Structure 1
Amino acid sequence: MKKYIIILSVVTLLGSCSEGFLDKDPHEFTDAVFWKTAAQAESALAGVYTPLQDEEALGGEEWCGMEAFSDIGYMNDNYSDFIAMSEFRAVQNTENDLSLNSYKSYYKVIKRANDVLAHVPGISMDEAQKKRILGEANFLLAFAYFNEVVRYGGVPLYDPNNVESSLVRATEEQIWAAIEASLVQATSQLAYEHEEGRPGLGAAWGLLAKVYAYEKKWTECKNAAEQVINSGKHVLYPVYSDLFTLEHDNESENLWVLGARLGEYPITSILYLPNNVWGGTHEEELGAGWRLVSATNSFYDSYQPLDKRKAATVAKRDVDKVTYNGSTDLLKAPNNQSAVVCIKYMQPYAAAYTSWSPGLSIPALRYADVLLIHAEAMMNLNGGGPDKRTVGVAAAAASLNLVRSRAGLAAINAPTFNDLMYERKMELAFEGGGRHFDLVRWGLAAEVYNNLPAEGTYKPKRTFVPATHRLLPFPQQEIDNSNGSLKQNAGYH
């Protein structure tokens, strides 16, 4: 399919400017030099997307690694500090590159989005184009803050007019309020029709519904989700497994996908693939991956019978066949400790695995997620919820059963919160750590994690202490650079 690469060439956008000017990041220029034309506004907006496409952000190592915090995955590679965090035994945040680099990448997005919002309104240009640019900047600003607050809690609220504010952590409530404000603004600026790789109005309403769910604002959550549902612009794609292929990664189910750079980033496929697919018996083995994160046996065994998502998400050594570079055979993956591999992003016929990435876009927000968020809101508004997990709620059935039906599962007339937990676990597995963040926001992480037995040495027995482990340790380098103005999260030092 035709790929829309979101990172536009600064050379193309700025035309006749000097070569030295072109080599600079547009966000480094002063007002007197930059922020004069529509082309410069588009260039600056493209720069907001850039950090998300790097190895450290969406679809990169930390994004994949967050699955190790949950009950569905674990880390194979030797990121000792990050592994200690995922096993809830870290009390001191040393130089954890995965966490630090992710934090910095999202903060680049925050800074650059603020630049766009501060300067583009003053540019003389087509008003519809300006409105879209500001809408995308507001969405990306909210998206970056969302990823920061669920990991670290209160973070600095960047103010371009008061840089000193970046040295003080805002409260979590202040961050959530800022996210809400940006998304509400984006809903008045974006349209449902949008180019691939850019968020549209569906993405703005969808993320806002998700934000309200984290804040337990269930009426607002329901209403925001219904903006997407009732628009008629988004539907579930019939075949779950196809959503994660090069041919179908821009279906209408994807409210927003992060555009890929062929051979560069995101590198999700490589990170999940084992570094030996066939056990050395196939020539195609040369293009295998890093096995950074793999699936647990308990997750593999937890699928309900007939759930089609299992074959599209995981495969087990010497049990399941997989297609890789056009060849189909039993999975070997001899170096995987659990024998279970995440195959969600494996491209069966992509020959580009000899490079960093086959060019697969990352599903940052899907319609299925919004449907399940809507079902969750209906449960909480009608007598169900995480503290009433066995209460059936008929009002949640319509949205939840759309997701179940595609998975090949029977409809449930009055689904319970336990049913919702299952659907979110299986539907959104290996999509950026959503399972862990769900369990934390539901207040169920300690119950689920602490009752899990050890699974080999790769997934030891863990003790989750909510007061500490609901958040990651704040990056120590950022604390040091602030001369102590930024404080560490409770329970870490």
Structure 2
Amino acid sequence: MKLYKLIFFLPLFVLSSCDLDREPFGVSNFWNSEADVWLGLNAAYEPFYNEEGFGRGHFWTGPASDDMVINRNKNDDDQLTKFIATSNASGGQFSNWQLMYRTIRRANDVMANTPNVTMSDKSRDLIMGEANFLCAYTYFYLAKRYGGLPFYDWQKPLEINKPRETKTETYIRIEAYLKEAIARFEAQGAWTRDKDALGRPNLGAAYGLLAKVYAHWGKYAEAKAAAEKVINSGKYSLNKANNNGYANLFSLAGEKHDEVLFNLVNKGVRNQGTVTSVILLSGTLSGGTGWYYFAPTKSLYNAFAEGDLRREVTMVGAGDTIHYLGKETVLTSEMINDMTTGYMCTKYGAAYNELTAWDWETGADVPLLRYSDVLLIHAEAEIFLAGGGPTNRTKGVAAAASSFNEVHVRAFGGNLSKAIAAPTFDDLVKERRCELAYEDERHYDLVRWGIAKEVYAAETTATDPRGPRNFDPVKNAHFPIPQKEIENTDYLLVNNPKPGYSTFE
């Protein structure tokens, strides 16, 4: 069943501490049939579609991570991106924390009730695999931001107010969720999903996410092995349509390509899709439809090499040709004068190409995990295992070439002369920045590699209006937990930096 059809019917009950839905295992007299279970699983996705979920919530720390600035007055969130002390007591990241734990609670409800409902083995494995994947994905999303986390366990439903686990314990739990998801998906050979389940995670998504978890954990042998499960399956490929597959992937025609391992599938209807395109769009250009919350930096623009086709998909500035509302137009600075950097994000806005009049939501899908990311994780693992990395940035590693160049050469329309025979760590840093812009990776890559301090200090007001930022590798390794959540637990939760919570110990 399509994800967006059934995600808004379960009533919400709110409880303090992580904003978990109230009542053990959801609504009484609900979990009686397979249809009920699918409905409950769909409800676990609903927070992702919320404005503060993957509408704009993941972008609030995105300006720190994805080469953007907050383009409107959002003080708490802006302080986070500048690494200035804040209680994180309001704003987008505060709401985003709540929504992610809502997904976690609902996925746990599914895991608690599915074994008690009559259904086929196939349905049970797919549902349980998906619920475990959702927990893994959501906890990993939070762990990148906050380090060690409090965990909810459906087998102990009354234990709501719990302390944080260490960062190592957190990653062990995420690994366990993914291994369970993999076992369930493998039992059904679920490398792909049925057409009516487009966007839902599959076996490639589970192995791909596991590879990323291991890379963030510094376990590169394991990351390489997990990535190779995806690569060697032969089930996934990069979109290479019309010698510009990147543009095709971020269009209505190509957004459901098998390059996308996990996807938010949207309808162009309020509350049945994220509002990502609207949030990034200039209000001046769109006649008031766009919310212009974020603007990409000149630094990101400069990162794209001459001929890299991804740049014009990712961002535009004055002088670029845009195709909106059925016609091509040369962009002027006046058309995007509400973009404080002089550039506008366009990566999620291609659906506007198909409209004949401005509308408030485009209906574009939002990819949450892509095959290209897995390929670059594989290249990274090869580089690190061969002795490359932040302390040896120019060491070329031929073993990384195949996976690296599959992504890199596509960016130049398949021009094989652009291939790099032995990619270095410096090549990898640039490639992930350009390939995965606005996809919640950049800051967390810099932090885990230990180079955030130098990268942020090197910026100037010419490349980023914030100028050089003072990143403390200890204090700023993770963002502060929202103050209200700490108060809700009667201060059982504590903030970073604290040994074990913000580092692997």
Give the TM-score, by structure 1 length: 0.90
2:391 alignment partner, one of 383, 387, 392: 387
Residue-by-residue CA offset, 1:132-157 (whole Å, 9 max, x unaligned): 00000000000010011111111111
Residue 81 (1) aligns with residue 96 (2): no
Whether the 8 Å CA contact 1:263–1:356 is kept in 2: the answer is: no
2:118 alignment partner, one of 107, 116, 124: 124
Whether the 8 Å CA contact 2:214–2:222 is kept in 1: the answer is: yes
Matched residue, 1:57: 53
Aligned-partner SS, 1:365: strand
Matched residue, 1:193: 192
Whether the 8 Å CA contact 2:10–2:40 is kept in 1: the answer is: no
Whether the 8 Å CA contact 2:299–2:464 is kept in 1: the answer is: no
Q: 1:30 to 1:176 in 2, by over 3 A?
A: closer
Residue 447 (1) aligns with residue 450 (2): no
Amino acid at match of 1:443: G
Q: Taking every aligned residue pair, what percent have the same amino acid on both sides?
A: 38
Residue 484 (1) aligns with residue 487 (2): no
Aligned-partner SS, 1:57: helix
Matched residue, 2:502: none
Whether the 8 Å CA contact 2:88–2:94 is kept in 1: the answer is: no
Residue 365 (1) aligns with residue 355 (2): no
Matched residue, 1:8: 5
Residue-by-residue CA offset, 1:153-197 (whole Å, 9 max, x unaligned): 111111231533543111111111111001111111121121212
Q: CA deviation at 1:9?
A: 3.4
Aligned-partner SS, 1:286: coil
Residue-by-residue CA offset, 1:407-442 (whole Å, 9 max, x unaligned): 1160011110000111100000011x3111110111
Whether the 8 Å CA contact 1:71–1:296 is kept in 2: the answer is: no
Residue 205 (1) aligns with residue 207 (2): yes
Matched residue, 1:427: 435
1:105 alignment partner, one of 99, 108, 121: 99
Aligned-partner SS, 2:261: strand
* CA–CA distance in structure 1, aligned partners of residues 10 and 151 of structure 2: 29
Matched residue, 1:42: 38
Aligned-partner SS, 1:397: helix
Aligned-pair RMSD on alpha carbons?
A: 2.1
Residue 218 (1) aligns with residue 220 (2): yes
Matched residue, 1:340: 343
Whether the 8 Å CA contact 2:214–2:223 is kept in 1: the answer is: yes
Number of aligned residues: 467
Residue-by-residue CA offset, 1:106-146 (whole Å, 9 max, x unaligned): 10111111111111012121111011000000000000100
Q: CA deviation at 1:288?
A: 3.9
Residue-by-residue CA offset, 1:357-398 (whole Å, 9 max, x unaligned): 211111100000000000000111112122211100000000
Residue 67 (1) aligns with residue 62 (2): yes
Amino acid at match of 1:303: F
Q: CA deviation at 1:71?
A: 6.9
User: Which stretch of the first structure deviates more once superposed, 373-382 or 160-169?
Assistant: 160-169
Matched residue, 1:148: 142
* CA–CA distance in structure 2, aligned partners of residues 412 and 189 of structure 1: 38
Amino acid at match of 2:325: N
Matched residue, 1:292: 293
Whether the 8 Å CA contact 2:201–2:262 is kept in 1: the answer is: yes
Matched residue, 2:265: 259
* CA–CA distance in structure 1, aligned partners of residues 80 and 27 of structure 2: 42
Aligned-partner SS, 1:299: helix
* CA–CA distance in structure 1, aligned partners of residues 463 and 74 of structure 2: 18
Matched residue, 1:311: 312
Amino acid at match of 1:9: L
Matched residue, 2:355: 351
Amino acid at match of 2:296: A
Q: CA deviation at 1:211?
A: 0.4
Residue-by-residue CA offset, 1:439-490 (whole Å, 9 max, x unaligned): 0111110010012122488423310001111111111110111111111223
Query: Structure 1 stretches of 5 or more lacking a match?
Result: 12-21, 278-284
Aligned-partner SS, 2:368: strand
Q: 1:296 to 1:9 in 2, by over 3 A?
A: closer
Whether the 8 Å CA contact 1:390–1:417 is kept in 2: the answer is: yes
